[in-house]
Amino acid sequence: MAHIDDPHTQRANLDYIRTSMNEPMLERDHELDLARRWKNNRDEKALHEMVTSYTRLVVSIASRFRNYGLPMGDLIQEGNVGLMQAAERFDPEREVRFSTYASWWIRAAIQDYILRNWSIVRTGTTAAQKSLFFNFRRLRAKIENRTEREGLDNAGREQIAKELGVDVSDVESMEGRLAGTDHSLNATVGEDGDSEWQDFLEDGNPNPEEIVIGMKDAKTRSAWLKKALNGLSDRERTIIKERHLGYETVTLEDLGKTLGISKERVRQLEQRAMDKLRVSMSRHSEDGQRLFG
């Protein structure tokens, strides 16, 4: 759906467009002189004259993207940002007209704005996907005109995918995205409905009963673990606590130095202690097997 500005905004946009179109065109030599004055001397008057002379270019490029449902004034504003970026980077010694160089920056700025604001869902994260987003409608219309049939079939999707260098699945996904629009979760269901769409979303979190049961089970398993640890020797209990129950795992080598034994001996004691814990925990519940398995 195209955005419709209020009358005041429409008048402001028309005034800006009219002013832009009345700006004088720059001769090549004068354009280069302005660009050199800005690049070499940071002459802001030269920059202002060069930029304002090409606001008509911004308007022209922005108008090509007016069917994406975003305010024309915002498209022009973003295009002006691209124009300023072009002016900052333009090298007058390369013998390229500023309009040619600026067109890329203006178009890139507008396209980036559209991708960020067309939908609340991120669109076009790669160069190929961006190309697909901005060329899909044109290519679909071309295929529809040739086949005299509305919509795309598998052959049409494959043709678009091949031409733009993307997967057919990307074409199918973009086709669905462009066919739909964003909807608010607070929108009511039906014309006279009292329920909102968000009322039908499933909550994946545990319910209160599951939370209470989980807390009780955790408390029970903690008691079983404490009892199992009490069945270990002091040295085995130290190894288990340092290796498995602390915030940071102590290495076998460091534990060996603390206990005055070799690293291999620590590993053997750890394995023996784990076996004891498994046996003790399995006597109470099969949960012990999952806890220490």
Query: How many Cα neighbours within 13 Å face the side chain of 13?
Result: 19
- Which DSSP category does 94 fall into? G
Do 107 and 137 belong to one domain? no
288 in a domain, yes or no?
Answer: yes
Return the CATH number at 244.
1.10.10.10
Q: Which CATH number characterizes residue 17's domain?
A: 1.20.120.1810
Q: So what's the pLDDT on residue 164?
A: 85
What would the two tokens of residue 202 be? 């499933």
Mean pLDDT by runs of 10 across the 293 residues of the chain is: 72 91 92 94 94 95 88 93 95 91 94 80 67 82 80 85 85 74 58 65 69 73 82 88 82 89 91 87 60 46
pLDDT given at position 293? 46
Q: Please indicate, yes or no, whether residues 83 and 154 belong to a single structural domain of this protein.
A: no
Last residue of a domain, one of 118, 134, 153: 118
Residue 193 falls inside a structural domain: no
Cβ atoms of residues 55 and 80 within 8 Å: yes
Alpha helices in the chain (DSSP H): 7-21, 28-41, 44-53, 55-63, 72-89, 98-117, 127-147, 154-164, 168-179, 208-230, 234-244, 252-259, 263-282, 287-292
**196 within a domain of the structure (yes/no):** no
Residue 199 lies in a domain: no
Residue at 262 is within a domain: yes
If asked whether residues 127 and 114 sit together in one domain, one would say no
Tally of CB atoms within 10 A around 236: 18
Cα(218)–Cα(216) distance, rounded to whole angstroms? Answer: 5
Closest of 32, 132, 50, 42 to residue 87, by C-alpha: 50
Residue 69 zone, left/alpha/beta (φ > 0; ψ -120 to 50; rest): left
Domain assignment of residue 25, given as a range: 1-118
Tell me, yes or no, whether 24 and 109 share the same domain: yes
Amino acid letter for position 61: I
Q: Is residue 60 part of a domain?
A: yes
Q: What is the pLDDT of residue 29?
A: 93
Q: What pLDDT score does 18 carry? A: 93
| Domain membership flag for residue 184 | no
| pLDDT tens figures, 114-167 | 888 876 555 656 777 778 888 887 888 888 888 777 778 888 888 888 888 888
